[in-house]
Copies of this chain bind each other. A is one copy, B any other.
Amino acid sequence: MEKKLPTIKEIAKRLNISVSTVSRALHDHASIGLRTKLQVKKLAEELNYVPNQTAIFFKQRKTFTIGVVLPNLREEFFSSAISGIEDTSFDNNYIALIGQSHDKLEREKTIVDTMKKHRVDGLLVSISKSTNTIEHFEALEQFNIPVVYFDRVPDAPNIHSVWCSLYHSSVGAINLLASKGHKRIGYIQGPSTMNIKNERMQGYQEGLKKNKLHYDESLVVTSDLSADSTQAAMEKLLSLKNKPTAIIAFNDYVALDAMQFARQKKIKINKDIVFVSYANLPVTHYLETPPMASVEQFPYEQGVRAAELLFKLIENKTAEETSPFENVVLYSELIIH
């Protein structure tokens, strides 16, 4: 009933052979008699034998485990990314340990320590909003545990990263709006605390310039991404004498909150005001009045690419090669609805 998981020792004892013979038989070592090999494999099967990874670690110095640290699994963006990470790990015979930072630096540090304790072979990270130092990650790399940042990539040199550039799509969004005759384009930006690139804003400004539109600070408002904050931001935009006829929102959720608020104010979505946002969540396709366009950031693909890069680094490390710092950039796409 209360059995313990079988070991090669157990198998060896039952067959009256040595543990090394068992070990070799299980690994299809060339120098093992066919009869012995089959015997061993048969018994292993019967006993439901599975090697103990924690023991293998001692010899191979590998756990075949990677860690994934990200802010929050409930956000569709991150759950898609981790799905890509899991699929890629599965294909590479790896398995992923997960930890949510909930955008708290302290918790992020604790998780990294736990990952270290479990001797992950590498780490995938999307940093928390409050992460203003990456020492805790660099400490891992010191010990030869590669770290690949994805999506929320710290603004630091000498790192491996995978992210999705929003610049061109942001410019494209303005081009699209300008081509429809919009001259007053509002922008609801996200919290500025994030230690990451602000390509949305760069694209916004460049887009305006290209279309010979004036950059008006009063058209740029900020939301902390909560519904309340977004609505307050909208209120600001709507109270302008010269209201915007188009609004670019930090992401789809912000757009949804903004649109709901606008609707309450008797504003006709896509008529009085047109919206463009980031993320391209599937749900927007079900809206009667969806945003005019949305910037697709390919979270699943980011996860896949980040995992692939990590496995490459792990492999090189095993082969005692040094890998140059690699920064993979995917390009977002402006999807017109």
- At the interface with chain B, which of A76-84, A161-169, A185-193, A214-222? A76-84
C-alpha gap A275/B284 in the complex (Å): 19
CB <8 Å contact, A58 and B65: no
Q: Which of B53, B118, B288 contacts A95 (CB 8 A)?
A: B118
- A183 CB to nearest chain B CB (Å): 28
- A261 CB to nearest chain B CB (Å): 11
The chain B residue with its CB closest to the CB of A79 is B79
Given known contacts A48-B139, A118-B54, A286 and B256 CB-to-CB distance under 8 angstroms: yes
In this complex, how many residues of chain A approach chain B with their Cβ under 8 Å: the count is 61
A283 interface hit (Cβ, 8 Å): yes
- A142 CB to nearest chain B CB (Å): 6
Counting every copy of the chain, the complex holds 2
CB <8 Å contact, A74 and B80: yes
Given known contacts A98-B96, A144-B3, A116 and B83 CB-to-CB distance under 8 angstroms: no
Among A50, A93, A107: residue with most chain B CB under 10 A:
A50
Map CB proximity to B onto A101-130 as digits: 1 under 8 Å, 0 otherwise.
000000100110111111100000000000
Top 7 A-B residue pairs of the complex, sorted by shortest distance between their CB atoms:
A79-B79, A54-B54, A283-B283, A256-B286, A73-B83, A54-B57, A50-B116
| A binding-site residues for B, Cβ under 8 Å | 1-5, 48, 50-55, 57-58, 63, 65, 72-74, 76, 78-80, 82-83, 86-87, 90, 93, 95-100, 107, 110-111, 113-119, 139, 142-144, 256-257, 259-260, 263, 281, 283, 286-289, 300
